[in-house]
Amino acid sequence: MEEFIGKVDCILKGEEPQIGIESTVVDFISKPPILLRPGFIDKNDLSEILPDLQEMKSLDKNSYTTPISPGLKYRHYSPNCKVIFKNSLKGIPKEFAQIGFHFESNSVYQVLVSSNKEYMKEIYSFFVECDRRGITEAWCEIPKEEKWKEVLINRISKAASK
């Protein structure tokens, strides 16, 4: 919530989120519909009811002169620290943070997750805590080959881009 101080008049705090990465954005104006941003409801889920659903490729992004959704228009939370994607979290210097499924070394801040679903729930609070602690690098293990891998890659890649 710290990122909203001075930007909004009031924040209503509800329960802790159960999902983390939630919003899925689909363009239904286009025919066939286009998945603009994957979320908890991913392409496989949507394909069951939208068999002609297409994914937006990087070249397609240029066809939208103005974002058609607030979820695409505004930059979502991105940590101040450098975000690094790794296949393995081996050899991480102690002063950096890490989130992933296996740790081979201790670091000043680490979040162990057991599934991509848990990873989705923890990723943004991990980034916020890295900023709160003044950590300069956050190392993120590549998600598992299971549901929500592409969703996590999408959000972590966006957080890594400055």
Helix, strand, coil tally for the chain in percent (to 5): 30, 15, 55
Bridge partners (DSSP) listed for residue 138: 83, 97
pLDDT category at 92 given cuts 50, 70, 90 is confident
Model-wide pTM > 0.85? no
SS3 assignment, position 143: coil
126-157 confidence digits (pLDDT tens): 999 999 999 999 999 999 999 999 889 988 98
Position 124 pLDDT exceeds 80? yes
Position 56 pLDDT exceeds 70? yes
Q: Work out the average pLDDT over 66-94.
A: 78
Exposed/middle/buried for 43, CB within 10 Å: 0-12, 13-18, 19+? middle
**HSE-up (13 A, CA, CB side) for residue 45:** 11
Which helix (H) or strand (E) segment holds residue 121: the answer is helix 116-133
| pLDDT given at position 49 | 93
Distance CA 122, CA 114 (A): 11
Q: Work out the average pLDDT over 153-162.
A: 84
Amino acid (1-letter code) at residue 24: T
| pLDDT given at position 161 | 81
- Spell out the SS3 assignment of 40-83: CCCHHHHHCCCCCCEECCCCHHHHCCCCCCHHHHCCCCCCCCEE
| pLDDT given at position 65 | 62
| pLDDT given at position 98 | 95
2-54 confidence digits (pLDDT tens): 666 777 777 666 666 666 677 788 888 889 999 888 888 888 889 999 999 99
| pLDDT given at position 12 | 66
